[in-house]
Amino acid sequence: MKRRERTPAKPAGGRRHGTGPSARRRMPLVVGLLVLASTGLVARAFDLQVVQKQFYQNQADARFLREVKIPVSRGTIFDRNGEPLAVSTPMVSITAVPGEVLDNADRIPALAQTLGIDPDQLKQYLERRSTREFAYLRRQMSPEAAKAVLALDIPGINGQREYKRYYPSGDVTAHVLGFTNIDDHGQEGLELAFDGWLAGKPGAKRVIRDRMGHTVEDVEQVRAPQPGKSLTLSIDRRIQFLAYSELKSQIEKSQADSGSMVILDVATGEILAMVSLPTFNPNAVNDSTPAERRNRAVTDVVEPGSTMKPFTMAAGLSSGKYTPTTPLIDTGKGVWYFQGHKIRDDTANGMLTPTGVLTKSSNIGAAKISLSLDTKFVYETYRAFGFGNSTESGFPGESSGYLKIGRDWRPFEQATMAFGYGLNLTPLQLANGYATLADHGVMHSPTFIKGDDNPARQIVAPQVADEIVKMLETVTEPGGTATRAQIANYSVAGKTGTAHQATAGGYAKNAYNALFAGIVPATHPRLVGVVVIKNPRVGGYFGGLVSAPVFQKVMSGALRLLDVPPDNIGRWYVGGPKMSNGSLVGNAPPRDPAGDAAAMREGVAL
């Protein structure tokens, strides 16, 4: 009988030996994986929350935390009496996050209608800037108009507070004040010259904005705002308006190309009025041209013509060779040939005293006086009055004029400069020269700031300056060339000027500059005024006919406004102004042979 073999029993659960680790052996593996994963998560959390916290905070802040500017108001500009000439008014600019607005494209037509622009143009504008986070839609809207836009509550549309400059006097003070750009920075005039003083410094703050761009919380102030400082000018708005009105009227009446007027306070050098025409409206700068925005009183130069003669006379009197009444100067029949050139007077004046040279405005007399003096001395006298140099008024773009170096003068140039040809001055330079004569030979730098610290310097001897002012009185009295500059109850000293306009290669035959420079009251000078009118075409072109009446009308009003007491009540001249010896100006006093001989020895042409 065979023995039955035993079949081994199957393992429990049907697991076969050698097919994998047991549960006990797998457990550490699983636990290890879990621990490793947890460690990785903890490490990553530590990295995000500790190591790279600032990076992700910055990323979040970049999306929701913004640093925005705190706008400040520009300082107000006042006239000397406290009247506002330039003020800043609060406005609102509409801004957009282009991408968010485009995500709500169905709202664009309503937005465009409120802004007053074409919907298609607005959409194209936003599409071109879709990658940006900021774009202006409309700058400087009135708060009421901006409120209507913001009331639409369109995602991505916000308002930003700004300030806009407003000029109450408009074109009357345009050239003096200048204007600002849309960002409220000075561009021309005193707005530019004092931009740092007026502008102030904007502040800054951090804010949190929601996804629609709306500010939901102010976080902190980064920088405190510093509002602009106010500025008080020397300009008197009332006198400025008078000058503007009368100059404009005369330019229109004479059909002139342009004109300017400057009025100075003699004792301080303060500019009380400065007008240039044509002008522009600083509240609508884009409607003007560069020519209209040019302040001709400080940027344009003219040959001063006969208004230069008092400075030639200052050299003559300072030299000791001349007094107001001696020696006599022979101006002949009104024509004098010098080195092949013809120098003319408008009339035949014959023998003239130095005072008569000014009264009758004799070119021949002025030329002979200048030629009798040392060239260097004449040049230095002109330079002392500031010709060829800036007045240092501080006005942007001020011209220094032109005065040729004295050592290069030819005799004929010295002769013609004596009566205002061959050199260039601005109206402000000319006014400052006359103010120096009026203030006993003391020069102040012209200033636009009331009460400015303005040191003075003596240019010519007080006696010389005072004598010239007295000599200039005869110009406005009967027999002079500027009787239309007379002001009732006030004595007026002044000088007319009429100069051919310079052109390429010479002078225009029928185009002139008409000038008048005057001092009032002559006995106690308070104001100096200069009027320049370019190319008058109707009613004459002489300074005494065109510019002197403007001076008379403006100064009459200015004297009343400033309560300047009259100095000439009841003083009227009969038969013409008198010289110190009692004879009429322009006529020869009794001849002194000894004096004539002395003059001849000094080379004076009689």
Structure token pair of residue 271? 């500019």
**161: Cβ contacts below 8 Å, ≥ 6 apart:** 71, 90, 91, 92, 93
Residue in this structure with the two tokens 């282009």, named with its chain if needed: 98
User: Rounded to whole angstroms, how far apart are CA atoms 516 and 430?
Assistant: 10
CA distance to 136, 161, 183, 328, per residue, from 164 (Å): 16, 10, 8, 64
**Bridge pairing between strands 351-352 and 231-232:** unpaired
Percent of the chain that is helix, strand, coil (3-state, to 5) = 40, 25, 40
What does residue 87 show for φ and ψ, rounded to 5 degrees?
-130, 155
Active site residue 169: no
First-residue to last-residue Cα distance in the chain = 182
Q: State which H helix or E strand residue 552 sits in.
A: helix 548-561
Alpha helices in 420-540 (DSSP H): 427-438, 462-476
The answer to whether 104 and 112 are in contact (CB under 8 A) is no
Catalytic residue among 88, 260, 306, 556: 306
Of the candidates 264, 309, 302, 247, the one whose C-alpha atom is nearest the C-alpha of residue 426 is: 302
Structure token pair of residue 570? 């009841």
Of the candidates 387, 427, 443, the one whose C-alpha atom is nearest the C-alpha of residue 266 is: 443
Neighbouring CB atoms inside 10 A of 600's CB total 12
User: Rounded to whole angstroms, how far apart are CA atoms 351 and 592?
Assistant: 14
The answer to whether 179 and 188 are in contact (CB under 8 A) is yes
Alpha helices in 215-287 (DSSP H): 237-254
The SS3 assignment for 322 reads: coil
170 CB-contact burial (10 Å; exposed 0-12 / middle 13-18 / buried 19+): middle
Of the candidates 393, 398, 385, the one whose C-alpha atom is nearest the C-alpha of residue 430 is: 385
User: Rounded to whole angstroms, how far apart are CA atoms 201 and 197?
Assistant: 10
**56: Cβ contacts below 8 Å, ≥ 6 apart:** 48
**10: Cβ contacts below 8 Å, ≥ 6 apart:** none
**Bridge pairing between strands 231-232 and 77-78:** parallel
DSSP conformation class of 283? G
Of the candidates 253, 369, 312, the one whose C-alpha atom is nearest the C-alpha of residue 497 is: 312
Residue 368 half-sphere exposure, CB side, CA atoms within 13 Å? Answer: 29
Q: Which residues are catalytic?
A: 306
